[in-house]
């Protein structure tokens, strides 16, 4: 063998060894991440606004070439137009978030399939699923099969989930018994209370959520009734919106007897957190003396976690939590979120997403604008929607928007 041939053979051999080494490394790191599940924190402590670290993986599986943009806040990725599935060219730093039990598997798959079909097959936003118990291998694999996007599964630390030990259990159980007697929905259920507390004050602190700024909350067995052509996250980002909703409803009074008194005790101590142009007139009919029970239905939320991670909300949540109302009553995360965004944000930062057709249980919203109804290929019956029926607060929202001149701003951006 000549010297040149020998050299070529050596180079070939070294290349093969190196390639095998890198292939093994990739397989090992993927399976490590899958097995790690519960909050592999080291991987996730990126600053807010940073692009998802695994974004390459998201689109790689969808055969789209990814280019990290040079945007100053680093919050966007741009994809090349070579996609064979028509990927949207821009992404916000955002994720879907789903809290679920292993027993919710079918419902979660249904919800993911619908949001993929109506929206995410073109956008490829990732998903974060969390659970107070380990997700089973079956759950993980079925969910991962429902979308080509990145899916991460997290275990909720028990301190963020279980009833805190400073709650007086005798008092809490007496209150649960009374609610059961009174027929209050979920009145006797401690895990429901854990869930409401987690969704109020912990989901956005979860290590898997740290790298994201915006989230879109999804629940098992919800329905997306229209095609969503544009990106709601980008809409939020570009129009300085912090909290977006589709349904607004009345709370069950028996679940929140002292919530408003507790909120006003907090705002008396911290008037500096109340925004100048807040939306108090949406949640109160008498200038703040009483809560009217209106809240944005939190099973659908698109929101900016910088708000929840900020001082106002952190202190507000701690104050409410320490009062014990999650367990001595049955405070829901929906009124807790809604009161906070209505008081601590300017009303212009709240947004009603009319084009997003959405259904949870029997309550649904379909676009009120007929043109959107047609353009979105909506599958819902216009006559059956909930917006102006008894339990809805949409009329209060309309009134609030009109009397504060916010409708003019909404009209200025007709696409949403
Ligand atoms: N991991 C976990 N998730 C839960 C638990 N309880 C509720 N969830 C999830 O929390 C979300 C809200 O729970 P739901 O039971 O739908 O509560 P809801 O929407 O107020 O009530 P419904 O009208 O019955 O849907 C759903 O995504 C559930 O899957 C629980 O004990 N563990
Ligand atoms: Mg639900």
**Residue 385 pLDDT class (50, 70, 90 cuts):** confident
Q: What is the pLDDT of residue 257?
A: 98
Residue of 114, 116, 251, 301 marked active site:
301
Distances (CA, A) of 183 to 187, 246, 292, 306, 350: 7, 28, 22, 38, 34
Residue 191 beta carbon below 6 angstroms from any ligand 1 atom:
yes
Listed residue (254, 398, 282, 258) closest to 340, CA to CA: 282
Least confident of 141-145, 275-279, 328-332, 371-375: 371-375
**Residue 4 pLDDT class (50, 70, 90 cuts):** low
**d(CA 257, ligand 2 centre) in Å:** 22
For residue 55, pLDDT beyond 90: no
Residue 334 beta carbon below 6 angstroms from any ligand 1 atom:
no
**d(CA 333, ligand 2 centre) in Å:** 12
Strongest mean pLDDT among 20-34, 78-92, 257-271:
257-271
Burial 172-184 (b: 16+ CB within 10 A, else e): beebbeebeeeeb
**Residue 50 pLDDT class (50, 70, 90 cuts):** very low
**Residue 156 pLDDT class (50, 70, 90 cuts):** very high
**d(CA 221, ligand 2 centre) in Å:** 8
pLDDT greater at residue 166 or residue 389: 166
Residue 283 beta carbon below 6 angstroms from any ligand 1 atom:
no
One-character DSSP codes across 308-362: HTSHHHHHHHHHHHHHTHHHHS---HHHHHHHHHHHHS-GGGEEE-TT--EEETT
Burial 256-281 (b: 16+ CB within 10 A, else e): beebbebbeebbeeeeebebeebbbb
Dig out the tokens for 239 from the structure: 């129009």
Locate the ligand 1 atom nearest the alpha carbon of residue 218 and give its number: 27
Averaged pLDDT, 156-160: 97
Q: What is the pLDDT of residue 46?
A: 26
**d(CA 221, ligand 1 centre) in Å:** 11
Q: What is the pLDDT of residue 372?
A: 86
Residue 255 beta carbon below 6 angstroms from any ligand 1 atom:
no
**d(CA 154, ligand 2 centre) in Å:** 20
* Dihedral in degrees, nearest 10, Cα atoms 24, 28, 31, 35: 160
Residue 103 beta carbon below 6 angstroms from any ligand 1 atom:
no
* CB 400 within 8 Å of CB 281: yes
Place of tokens 């930062």: 349
119: β partners? none
For residue 416, pLDDT beyond 60: no
Ligand nearest to the CA of 220: 1
Q: Which of 100, 107, 200 to mutate to test the pocket of ligand 1 (most atoms within 8 A of CB)?
A: 100
Locate the ligand 1 atom nearest the alpha carbon of residue 334 and give its number: 20
**Residue 408 pLDDT class (50, 70, 90 cuts):** low
Q: Which of 139, 161, 217, 219 to mutate to test the pocket of ligand 1 (most atoms within 8 A of CB)?
A: 219
CA–CA separation, 406 and 416 (whole Å) = 14
pLDDT 10s digits, 246-263:
999 999 999 999 999 999
Residue 131 beta carbon below 6 angstroms from any ligand 1 atom:
yes
78: enclosing H helix or E strand = strand 77-79
Place of tokens 């367990």: 327
* 205 contact partners, CB below 8 Å, separation of at least 6: 160, 309
Query: Has 60 been annotated as catalytic?
Result: no
Question: Which residue has the CA at smallest separation from atom 24 of ligand 1?
Answer: 361
Q: What is the pLDDT of residue 381?
A: 79
Least confident of 43-47, 188-192, 371-375, 406-410: 43-47
Locate the DSSP E strands across 93-238: 94-99, 127-131, 151-155, 214-217, 223-224
For residue 39, pLDDT beyond 50: no
Residue 237 CA, chain-centre distance (Å), reads 15
CA–CA separation, 12 and 6 (whole Å) = 10
pLDDT 10s digits, 297-345:
999 999 999 999 999 999 999 999 999 999 999 999 999 999 999 999 9
CA–CA separation, 86 and 54 (whole Å) = 20
Residue 130 beta carbon below 6 angstroms from any ligand 1 atom:
no
CA–CA separation, 49 and 56 (whole Å) = 17
**Residue 410 pLDDT class (50, 70, 90 cuts):** low
* 98 contact partners, CB below 8 Å, separation of at least 6: 108, 111, 112, 127, 128, 129, 130, 217, 218, 219, 220
Residue 60 beta carbon below 6 angstroms from any ligand 1 atom:
no
**Strand, coil or helix: 47:** coil
Listed residue (126, 132, 172, 136) closest to 156, CA to CA: 132
Whole-model pTM? 0.81
Ligand nearest to the CA of 330: 1
Q: What is the pLDDT of residue 286?
A: 97
Locate the ligand 1 atom nearest the alpha carbon of residue 107 and give its number: 29
Locate the DSSP E strands across 195-242: 214-217, 223-224
**d(CA 289, ligand 1 centre) in Å:** 32
Residue 246 beta carbon below 6 angstroms from any ligand 1 atom:
no
**Residue 89 pLDDT class (50, 70, 90 cuts):** low
Least confident of 61-65, 234-238, 354-358: 61-65
For residue 282, pLDDT beyond 70: yes
Least confident of 72-76, 214-218, 240-244: 72-76
């Amino acid at each position: 063998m000549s010297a040149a041939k020998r050299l070529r053979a050596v180079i070939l051999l070294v290349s093969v060894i190196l390639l095998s080494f890198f292939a093994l490394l990739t397989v090992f790191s993927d399976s490590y991440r899958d097995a790690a599940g519960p909050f592999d924190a080291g991987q996730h402590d990126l600053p807010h606004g940073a692009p998802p670290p695994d974004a390459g993986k998201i689109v790689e599986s969808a055969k789209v070439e990814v280019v990290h943009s040079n945007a100053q806040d680093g919050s966007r990725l741009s994809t090349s137009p070579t996609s064979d599935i028509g990927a949207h060219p821009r992404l916000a730093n955002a994720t879907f978030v789903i809290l679920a039990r292993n027993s919710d598997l079918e419902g979660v798959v249904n919800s993911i399939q619908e949001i993929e079909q109506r929206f995410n097959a073109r956008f490829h936003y990732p998903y974060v699923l969390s659970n107070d118990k380990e997700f089973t291998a079956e759950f993980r694999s079925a969910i991962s099969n429902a979308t080509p996007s990145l899916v991460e599964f997290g275990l909720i630390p028990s301190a963020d989930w279980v009833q805190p030990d400073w709650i007086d259990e005798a008092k809490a159980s007496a209150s649960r018994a009374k609610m059961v007697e009174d027929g209050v929905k979920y009145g006797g259920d401690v895990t429901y209370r854990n869930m409401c507390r987690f969704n109020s004050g912990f989901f956005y602190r979860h290590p898997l959520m740290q790298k994201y700024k915006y989230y879109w909350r999804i629940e098992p067995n919800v329905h997306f009734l229209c095609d969503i052509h544009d990106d709601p996250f980008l809409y939020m980002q570009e129009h300085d919106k912090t909290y977006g909703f589709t349904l607004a409803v009345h709370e069950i009074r028996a679940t929140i007897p002292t919530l408003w008194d507790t909120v006003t005790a907090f705002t008396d101590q911290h008037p500096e957190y109340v925004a100048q142009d807040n939306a108090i007139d949406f949640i109160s009919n008498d200038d703040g003396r009483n809560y009217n029970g209106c809240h944005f239905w939190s099973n659908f939320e698109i929101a900016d976690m910088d708000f929840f991670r900020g001082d106002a909300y952190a202190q507000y949540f701690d104050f409410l939590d320490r009062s014990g109302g999650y367990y001595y009553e049955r405070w829901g995360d929906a009124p807790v979120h809604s009161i906070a965004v209505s008081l601590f944000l300017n009303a212009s930062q709240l947004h009603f997403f009319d084009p997003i057709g959405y259904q949870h249980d029997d309550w649904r919203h379909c676009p009120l604008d007929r043109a959107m109804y047609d353009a979105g290929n909506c599958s819902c019956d216009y006559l059956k929607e909930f917006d102006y029926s008894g339990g809805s607060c949409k009329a209060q929202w309309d009134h609030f928007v009109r009397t504060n001149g916010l409708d003019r701003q909404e009209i200025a951006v007709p696409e949403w």
